[in-house]
Amino acid sequence: MAILEFKDVSYTHNEKNILENISIEIDLGDFISIVGHSGSGKSTFLKLCSDLITPTDGYIKYKDKYFSDYDPIELRKNIAYCFQTPYLFGDTVMDNISFAYSIRGKKIDLDRVNKLFSMFNLNEDYLEKEVLNLSGGEKQRIALIRSLLFNPEVLLLDEVTSALDVDNTLVVESVINSLNEKGTTILWVTHNIEQSRKYANKVLTIDTGKIKSLEVIA
Ligand SMILES: Nc1ncnc2c1ncn2[C@@H]1O[C@H](COP(=O)(O)OP(=O)(O)O)[C@@H](O)[C@H]1O
Ligand SMILES: [Mg+2]
Protein backbone atom coordinates (compact mmCIF):
# COMPACT_ATOMS: atom_id res chain seq x y z
CA MET A 1 0.00 0.00 0.00
CA ALA A 2 1.24 3.49 -0.80
CA ILE A 3 1.56 5.53 2.38
CA LEU A 4 2.51 8.64 0.40
CA GLU A 5 1.66 9.35 -3.21
CA PHE A 6 2.89 12.27 -5.33
CA LYS A 7 1.06 12.83 -8.60
CA ASP A 8 2.51 15.34 -11.10
CA VAL A 9 3.74 17.56 -8.27
CA SER A 10 5.53 20.77 -9.14
CA TYR A 11 6.77 23.45 -6.82
CA THR A 12 7.55 26.93 -8.06
CA HIS A 13 8.99 29.70 -5.95
CA ASN A 14 9.50 33.26 -7.23
CA GLU A 15 8.83 32.01 -10.78
CA LYS A 16 11.61 29.45 -10.44
CA ASN A 17 10.69 25.78 -10.94
CA ILE A 18 12.26 24.06 -7.98
CA LEU A 19 10.55 20.69 -8.49
CA GLU A 20 8.82 19.59 -11.70
CA ASN A 21 6.35 16.82 -12.39
CA ILE A 22 7.21 14.57 -9.50
CA SER A 23 5.18 11.34 -9.46
CA ILE A 24 6.13 8.66 -6.97
CA GLU A 25 4.49 6.15 -4.67
CA ILE A 26 6.14 5.50 -1.33
CA ASP A 27 5.10 2.19 0.17
CA LEU A 28 4.40 1.51 3.82
CA GLY A 29 7.67 0.28 5.34
CA ASP A 30 9.92 1.68 2.62
CA PHE A 31 13.39 2.90 3.52
CA ILE A 32 14.23 5.31 0.73
CA SER A 33 17.55 7.11 0.45
CA ILE A 34 17.36 10.37 -1.46
CA VAL A 35 20.48 11.53 -3.25
CA GLY A 36 21.36 14.22 -5.78
CA HIS A 37 23.53 17.28 -6.23
CA SER A 38 23.28 20.17 -3.84
CA GLY A 39 20.43 22.44 -4.94
CA SER A 40 18.62 19.69 -6.85
CA GLY A 41 15.51 19.91 -4.68
CA LYS A 42 15.92 17.17 -2.05
CA SER A 43 15.05 19.33 0.97
CA THR A 44 12.14 20.87 -0.94
CA PHE A 45 10.85 17.34 -1.62
CA LEU A 46 10.92 16.54 2.12
CA LYS A 47 9.19 19.83 2.94
CA LEU A 48 6.38 18.85 0.56
CA CYS A 49 6.19 15.40 2.18
CA SER A 50 5.75 17.00 5.59
CA ASP A 51 3.17 19.59 4.47
CA LEU A 52 5.50 22.48 5.37
CA ILE A 53 4.97 23.76 1.83
CA THR A 54 2.17 23.07 -0.65
CA PRO A 55 2.55 21.96 -4.29
CA THR A 56 2.02 24.63 -6.93
CA ASP A 57 0.64 21.87 -9.18
CA GLY A 58 -0.42 18.27 -8.71
CA TYR A 59 -1.36 16.59 -5.47
CA ILE A 60 0.00 14.56 -2.56
CA LYS A 61 -1.94 11.84 -0.75
CA TYR A 62 -1.27 10.25 2.62
CA LYS A 63 -2.96 6.87 2.98
CA ASP A 64 -5.13 7.48 -0.05
CA LYS A 65 -6.52 10.79 1.21
CA TYR A 66 -5.49 14.19 -0.17
CA PHE A 67 -3.19 16.23 2.07
CA SER A 68 -5.65 19.10 1.66
CA ASP A 69 -8.39 16.98 3.29
CA TYR A 70 -6.40 16.45 6.47
CA ASP A 71 -6.18 18.60 9.53
CA PRO A 72 -2.54 19.82 9.25
CA ILE A 73 -1.97 18.92 12.90
CA GLU A 74 -2.93 15.32 12.24
CA LEU A 75 -0.51 15.13 9.32
CA ARG A 76 2.29 16.60 11.39
CA LYS A 77 1.66 14.04 14.11
CA ASN A 78 2.16 11.17 11.70
CA ILE A 79 4.86 12.57 9.43
CA ALA A 80 7.90 13.94 11.26
CA TYR A 81 10.58 16.01 9.56
CA CYS A 82 14.05 16.36 10.97
CA PHE A 83 15.72 19.42 9.44
CA GLN A 84 19.12 19.63 7.80
CA THR A 85 20.08 22.35 10.27
CA PRO A 86 18.72 21.31 13.67
CA TYR A 87 16.82 24.09 15.34
CA LEU A 88 16.49 23.97 19.10
CA PHE A 89 14.62 26.64 21.00
CA GLY A 90 14.39 27.84 24.59
CA ASP A 91 17.25 27.62 27.07
CA THR A 92 17.71 23.96 27.85
CA VAL A 93 17.38 20.60 26.13
CA MET A 94 14.47 19.90 28.51
CA ASP A 95 12.58 22.91 27.06
CA ASN A 96 12.65 21.21 23.67
CA ILE A 97 11.50 17.86 24.97
CA SER A 98 8.82 19.09 27.36
CA PHE A 99 7.33 21.43 24.74
CA ALA A 100 6.61 18.44 22.48
CA TYR A 101 4.50 16.98 25.29
CA SER A 102 2.80 20.18 26.43
CA ILE A 103 1.53 21.14 22.95
CA ARG A 104 -0.15 17.73 22.88
CA GLY A 105 -1.60 18.28 26.33
CA LYS A 106 0.41 15.36 27.70
CA LYS A 107 2.56 14.75 30.72
CA ILE A 108 6.20 14.10 29.93
CA ASP A 109 7.03 10.38 29.73
CA LEU A 110 10.47 10.36 31.32
CA ASP A 111 10.98 6.64 30.80
CA ARG A 112 10.54 7.06 27.07
CA VAL A 113 12.73 10.18 27.01
CA ASN A 114 15.55 8.48 28.90
CA LYS A 115 15.33 5.41 26.71
CA LEU A 116 15.66 7.52 23.57
CA PHE A 117 18.59 9.47 25.01
CA SER A 118 20.47 6.29 25.82
CA MET A 119 19.69 4.81 22.37
CA PHE A 120 21.45 7.83 20.87
CA ASN A 121 24.46 7.65 23.17
CA LEU A 122 23.44 10.65 25.30
CA ASN A 123 23.10 10.37 29.07
CA GLU A 124 20.27 11.87 31.12
CA ASP A 125 22.41 14.85 32.18
CA TYR A 126 21.81 16.26 28.72
CA LEU A 127 18.26 17.21 29.67
CA GLU A 128 19.55 20.03 31.88
CA LYS A 129 22.19 21.28 29.45
CA GLU A 130 21.95 24.67 27.82
CA VAL A 131 21.18 24.59 24.11
CA LEU A 132 23.85 27.23 23.53
CA ASN A 133 26.60 24.94 24.78
CA LEU A 134 25.80 21.94 22.61
CA SER A 135 27.92 20.80 19.68
CA GLY A 136 26.38 20.44 16.21
CA GLY A 137 26.32 16.66 16.58
CA GLU A 138 24.56 16.84 19.96
CA LYS A 139 21.95 19.21 18.53
CA GLN A 140 21.37 16.84 15.62
CA ARG A 141 20.72 13.90 17.91
CA ILE A 142 18.43 15.90 20.21
CA ALA A 143 16.40 17.18 17.25
CA LEU A 144 16.15 13.57 16.10
CA ILE A 145 14.98 12.42 19.53
CA ARG A 146 12.38 15.20 19.58
CA SER A 147 10.98 13.99 16.25
CA LEU A 148 10.78 10.40 17.53
CA LEU A 149 9.04 11.03 20.87
CA PHE A 150 5.61 10.16 19.49
CA ASN A 151 6.46 7.33 17.10
CA PRO A 152 5.71 8.93 13.74
CA GLU A 153 4.57 6.64 10.92
CA VAL A 154 6.79 8.41 8.42
CA LEU A 155 10.17 9.83 9.35
CA LEU A 156 11.85 12.36 7.05
CA LEU A 157 15.55 12.86 7.69
CA ASP A 158 17.54 15.63 6.03
CA GLU A 159 21.28 14.96 6.21
CA VAL A 160 20.94 14.32 9.93
CA THR A 161 24.38 12.79 10.43
CA SER A 162 26.39 15.54 8.75
CA ALA A 163 27.83 16.82 12.05
CA LEU A 164 28.35 13.42 13.67
CA ASP A 165 31.56 11.46 14.13
CA VAL A 166 31.83 7.95 12.73
CA ASP A 167 30.72 6.18 15.92
CA ASN A 168 27.62 8.29 16.42
CA THR A 169 26.75 8.07 12.74
CA LEU A 170 26.72 4.28 13.13
CA VAL A 171 24.52 4.62 16.22
CA VAL A 172 22.00 6.80 14.38
CA GLU A 173 21.98 4.52 11.31
CA SER A 174 21.33 1.51 13.48
CA VAL A 175 18.51 3.15 15.48
CA ILE A 176 16.83 4.31 12.26
CA ASN A 177 17.17 0.85 10.76
CA SER A 178 15.57 -0.76 13.78
CA LEU A 179 12.67 1.72 13.63
CA ASN A 180 12.22 0.78 9.99
CA GLU A 181 12.21 -2.91 10.92
CA LYS A 182 9.40 -2.14 13.36
CA GLY A 183 7.38 -0.52 10.56
CA THR A 184 8.35 3.17 10.37
CA THR A 185 8.61 4.41 6.79
CA ILE A 186 11.91 6.26 6.30
CA LEU A 187 12.91 8.89 3.73
CA TRP A 188 16.51 9.90 4.25
CA VAL A 189 18.39 12.56 2.31
CA THR A 190 22.11 11.85 2.37
CA HIS A 191 25.09 12.77 0.25
CA ASN A 192 27.00 9.78 1.58
CA ILE A 193 26.81 7.04 -1.07
CA GLU A 194 27.79 4.27 1.31
CA GLN A 195 25.10 5.38 3.78
CA SER A 196 22.51 5.62 0.99
CA ARG A 197 22.86 1.91 0.18
CA LYS A 198 23.38 0.46 3.62
CA TYR A 199 19.83 -0.15 4.85
CA ALA A 200 17.60 1.33 2.15
CA ASN A 201 15.39 -0.77 -0.10
CA LYS A 202 15.21 2.03 -2.70
CA VAL A 203 17.42 4.92 -3.79
CA LEU A 204 15.72 7.98 -5.25
CA THR A 205 17.94 10.29 -7.29
CA ILE A 206 16.75 13.86 -7.83
CA ASP A 207 18.43 15.94 -10.51
CA THR A 208 17.64 19.62 -11.12
CA GLY A 209 14.13 19.33 -9.76
CA LYS A 210 13.18 16.07 -11.46
CA ILE A 211 13.25 12.40 -10.55
CA LYS A 212 16.22 10.94 -12.37
CA SER A 213 15.78 7.38 -11.11
CA LEU A 214 14.21 5.22 -8.45
CA GLU A 215 16.40 2.20 -8.00
CA VAL A 216 15.17 -0.82 -6.08
CA ILE A 217 17.96 -2.47 -4.11
CA ALA A 218 17.77 -6.25 -4.16
N1 LIG B 1 12.67 29.40 0.16
C2 LIG B 1 13.36 29.41 -0.99
N3 LIG B 1 13.47 30.54 -1.71
C4 LIG B 1 14.15 30.56 -2.87
N5 LIG B 1 14.77 29.51 -3.39
C6 LIG B 1 14.72 28.38 -2.73
C7 LIG B 1 14.02 28.24 -1.50
N8 LIG B 1 14.14 26.98 -1.06
C9 LIG B 1 14.89 26.35 -2.00
N10 LIG B 1 15.23 27.18 -2.98
C11 LIG B 1 16.02 26.83 -4.19
O12 LIG B 1 15.49 25.61 -4.67
C13 LIG B 1 16.50 24.76 -5.12
C14 LIG B 1 16.43 23.44 -4.40
O15 LIG B 1 16.80 23.64 -3.03
P16 LIG B 1 16.84 22.46 -1.98
O17 LIG B 1 15.55 21.74 -2.02
O18 LIG B 1 17.26 23.04 -0.69
O19 LIG B 1 18.00 21.54 -2.59
P20 LIG B 1 18.89 20.40 -1.93
O21 LIG B 1 18.28 20.04 -0.61
O22 LIG B 1 18.85 19.28 -2.92
O23 LIG B 1 20.26 20.95 -1.80
C24 LIG B 1 17.81 25.51 -4.96
O25 LIG B 1 18.14 26.12 -6.17
C26 LIG B 1 17.47 26.55 -3.90
O27 LIG B 1 18.28 27.66 -4.07
MG1 LIG C 1 19.07 20.11 1.28
Q: What is the pLDDT of residues 133-162, one digit of tens each?
A: 999 999 999 999 999 999 999 999 999 999
pLDDT digits (tens, 9 = 90+) for 194-211: 999 999 999 999 999 999
Q: What is the CATH number of the domain that holds 47?
A: 3.40.50.300
In 38-70, which positions are buried (b, 16+ CB within 10 angstroms) versus exposed (e)?
Answer: eebbbbbbbbbbbbeeebeebebbbeeeebeeb
Ligand 1 site, residue 13, Cβ cutoff 6 A: yes
Distance CA 31, CA 201 (A): 6
Ligand nearest to the CA of 15: 1
pLDDT digits (tens, 9 = 90+) for 66-105: 999 999 989 998 999 999 888 899 999 999 999 999 988 9
**Structural domain of 14:** 2-216
pTM of the model: 0.95
Neighbours of ion ligand 2 (CB under 5 A): 42-43
Of all protein residues, whose CA lies closest to atom 5 belonging to ligand 1? 13
Report percent pLDDT > 70 for the chain.
100
CA of 189, closest atom in ligand 1? 21
Q: How many domains does the chain have?
A: 1
| Closest to 14 (Cα-Cα) out of 56, 46, 47 | 56
H-run or E-run covering 138? helix 136-148
Opening angle at CA 183, ends 180 and 184, nearest 5: 60
Of all protein residues, whose CA lies closest to atom 12 belonging to ligand 1? 18
Distance CA 107, CA 95 (A): 13
Distance CA 14, CA 78 (A): 30
Please list the residues that pair with 24 across neighbouring strands.
Answer: 6
